[in-house]
Amino acid sequence: MPRKSGRPVKTDSSEDNKQKIIGATVHLIKTKSADHITVRGVCREADVSIGTFYHYFRDKDDLMMFFVRTTPFNDAELKTPLSDIASRISELYMMLIDRYLDLGEDFMKSFYSTSNLSLSAYMGEEDGCFAPDTVMARSEIELQAALDAGYVDAKTDVHTACMDICTIIKGCVFEWCLVNGDMDICGSVYRIIGNYLKPYLR
């Protein structure tokens, strides 16, 4: 039955409405690509009012950012010891990649677009710093801790190394998309980051 105009239906809980918006966005990304997401289009697909949308998200970019900010990386528990810093950082990034894989191949192909401003904002830096609670910021904390513990050469430029690792991850994801998921992305991440960090290890 179509939703009546005006306020959201009272029988829907707040969490139900938010999940409707997120679910509708995933569906639209898979079927039309991230480039074609609009607030009106998402609301139409989710069968919620525009007012309901703005109760949860500031705008389209804020909605898209949800998909990369779901995992709180500051609190993420890592199993790999600090002494194996390359594998530890690989484990960290696989938390983000696994989130994308759960959303499906079509989602990843459409989301990893050069025109997805929310992705470029998340996986970039501002004023020489990574945004707090992002995977890049956590990787910098981990690499610095490994340096302080003597596992990494003291001359290492930790921030630049983390920027390079972020670029490696983007490359692995884009390659995964190009070959339609026909690659071991986890194995590639661990292997390439391991080879990249090898010259910095003590």
Q: What single string gives the DSSP state of each residue in 85-139?
A: HHHHHHHHHHHHHHHHHHH-HHHHHHHS-TT-HHHHHHTS-BTTBPPTTSHHHHH
Task: For 117-170, write each residue's pLDDT tens digit.
Answer: 777 777 778 788 998 888 999 999 999 999 999 999 999 999 999 999 999 999
Please state which of the ranges 77-81, 91-95, 126-130 shows the lowest mean pLDDT: 126-130
User: What is 14-57's CATH number?
Assistant: 1.10.10.60
pLDDT digits (tens, 9 = 90+) for 46-65: 999 999 999 999 888 788 87
Task: Say if residues 91 and 79 touch (Cβ distance below 8 Å).
Answer: yes
- Of 191 and 112, more confident: 191
pTM of the model: 0.79
* pLDDT above 60 for 9: no
* Sequence spans of domains, the chain: 14-57, 71-200
